[in-house]
Chain A
Amino acid sequence: MMKILLSVLLFASTSAWAADSSAPKLDIGKGGQCVEDTQWMRKNHMHLLKHQRDETLRKGIRDEKVSLKNCIECHASTKDDSVIARDDSFCVGCHRYEAVKVDCFECHSGTRKSAWLQQRNAK
């Protein structure tokens, strides 16, 4: 019974989100799909990131496919190389819409690494 209820809830919430015309318009950068489809990622990206951060830091397992750095590499804006710089940036757009605070970037860089390196070397 709980499973049915849960599935109805999940289905309702995700389909409502997808159909909502007021949903945020994001600058997805280069975009593309390398992990899972968009709806799945909207719902579950935080679990992947949270799992991977422990694997990477504590065990040294650097899986490129689900690393935050690689997410940023593709999804940072092609204009400003960032996932957090503007209101419609890849991370900020949804997180602001859903009113969920994103803590990652208090420590992590929200800039594409290649662009960051270029900037540093230019200094």
Chain B
Amino acid sequence: MSEIDTQRRNFLKTSVGAAAVAIAPGIMLFDIAHGKPEGASSKVRWGMLIDTAQCKTGCNECVTACNKENGLSGGTAATDSQWIRKIEIKDISNGRELSLPMMCQHCEHPPCVDVCPTNASMKRADGIVLVDKHRCIGCRYCMMACPYKARSFVHEPLHDQNPDVPRGKGTVESCTLCVHRVDEGRQPACVESCPNKAILFGDLNDANSEIAVKVRAVASVQIRADLHLNPGVRYQGI
């Protein structure tokens, strides 16, 4: 679904390259366009385990860190981008209160990807759900499809973006799991910032990773598991 058919591109590449050789010997067009062979691997499934017992009511550190990392204004108006929110929930039958962060859940079967008419909404091989803003036309179907209300639309022109995090008017955006950090082998900004280490980030597919061990050991749930989207973000203690 999210894979672009590269057959035609490959064909064009080789034929143009051949033409280039004919035109100017010694110059191979596109010869160096191939990047490093290793990219995101489907052997990896990035995920998070959020321990709600450690998440303190009123603490907003993860949200602040996300805003700073990704250059969000921090506003909470309807037209402001919010990639992560703190949510306070209360069981009215007994008064038990909980606080938890809510962001893109990086589903295995993301409804935002299903509905995207331009294939802009996509899931990387390692499970990170992203918006390809080169293709996004800003129709916002994905925002309607997302059961977690995780996506935002950029309404105003932006300036001075983080060189690692391109963002622009007229496109939809959401938590990228700090993909630019993850590709460097670092942790997402929210994980790093949490004073209580309530968010655990790692590879769910690696049986020996800290997150996989903990997911095996403690009871955790996916939010709206009834939708069978298999989110990569799990919550403990709800």
Contact = CB atoms under 8 A, between A and B. Distances in A.
A56 B168 CA distance: 18
Nearest to B23: A7
A116 B96 CA distance: 45
- Interface of chain B, helix or strand or loop or mixed? loop
B163 A63 contact: no
Given A58-B4, A62-B36, A63-B35, A109 B124 contact: no
B219 interface: no
Contacts of A56: 35
A57 B27 contact: no
Interface residues of A, number: 36
Interface string A18-34: 00000000000000000
A81 B167 CA distance: 20
Contacts of A106: 157, 168-169
Given A7-B24, A106-B168, A106-B169, A57 B163 contact: no
B39 interface: yes
- Interface of chain A, helix or strand or loop or mixed? helix
Sorting the interface of chain B by its residue count into under 10, 10 to 19, 20 to 34 or 35 or more gives 35 or more
Interface string A56-76: 111111110110010010000
B91 interface: no
B162 interface: yes
A6 B32 contact: no
A89 interface: no
Contacts of A3: 19, 22-23
Contacts of B164: 69, 113
Interface in B146-188: 157-158, 160-164, 166-169, 171, 179, 183
Nearest to A113: B163
B23 A6 contact: yes
Interface in B22-46: 22-24, 27, 29-30, 32-40
12 contacts: A7-B22, A36-B32, A55-B35, A55-B39, A57-B130, A62-B39, A66-B32, A72-B163, A109-B166, A113-B164, A116-B162, A120-B68
